[in-house]
A and B are shown apart, each in its own frame.
Chain A
Amino acid sequence: AQTVTQSQPEMSVQEAETVTLSCTYDTSENNYYLFWYKQPPSRQMILVIRQEAYKQQNATENRFSVNFQKAAKSFSLKISDSQLGDTAMYFCAFSGANSKLTFGKGITLSVRP
């Protein structure tokens, strides 16, 4: 069974600065997807960024980028130029051959003005 670990329960960052959220996972599969989802307070969860395991290049979406280390089974999210609207809970998630999404416990990110 796959597991996803987010060991930091919460982080805080000053507006306009950069923050990195950590995630590790465990799987015996070779082909899979990794995701970061964002869940703003009382709002629906949305996809921030996706990484296919077979791609060596790290995914980037505007201010969001990942550092994917397949051998180390590490998948961190970097948010550059943090904005107040980035305040949310962030979940790292794994999807393998069974198309089931397994989530970590999440991290609460607060962006300070």
Chain B
Amino acid sequence: EAGVAQSPRYKIIEKRQSVAFWCNPISGHATLYWYQQILGQGPKLLIQFQNNGVVDDSQLPKDRFSAERLKGVDSTLKIQPAKLEDSAVYLCASSPRTSPLLYTGELFFGEGSRLTVL
């Protein structure tokens, strides 16, 4: 079974430029998450999708970050304009959560996209 796919793996941009990250979750997984992991810290949830609807985006800096999951499958996270403090690894994760009875709480992570803002 294919895992969570993310691209690009690495991206270097100047501040005020824009960047987009793509994620394709495990087939059939209804829930998709984007996390931001700053060096030396634990991942912080940016946004959670259930199918193509947003469940939680309370920690997404909406003035510069946007995310979509139009067909309920793959997702794109965009940053525009980027700031120095956006340098981080952006992790995508997915989970089945097709039924409360099947819910185990486990998330399946991609390898992440490392962003460096100069």
Contacts and interface: CB of A to CB of B under 8 A. Distances in A.
B75 interface: no
A46 B42 CA distance: 14
Contacts, number: 54
A39 to B, nearest CB: 9
B111 A33 contact: no
B106 interface: yes
B109 A45 contact: yes
A47 B97 contact: no
Contact of B105 (A35, A43, A105): A35
Contacts of B112: 44
A88 to B, nearest CB: 13
Contact of B41 (A46, A50, A98, A106): A106
Contacts of A99: 31, 48, 95, 97, 103, 105
B31 A106 contact: no
A101 interface: yes
Interface residues of A, number: 23
Interface residues of B, number: 26
B109 A95 contact: no
Contacts of B45: 100-102
Interface in B48-86: 48, 55-56
A35 to B, nearest CB: 7
Nearest to B6: A44
A25 interface: no
B42 A91 contact: yes
A50 B56 CA distance: 24
Interface of B: 3-4, 31, 33, 40-45, 48, 55-56, 91, 93, 95, 97, 103-107, 109-112
Given A6-B42, A91-B42, A103-B42, 17 more contacts: A33-B105, A35-B105, A35-B106, A44-B3, A45-B91, A47-B107, A50-B105, A99-B48, A99-B105, A100-B48, A101-B45, A103-B43, A104-B42, A105-B40, A105-B42, A106-B40, A106-B42
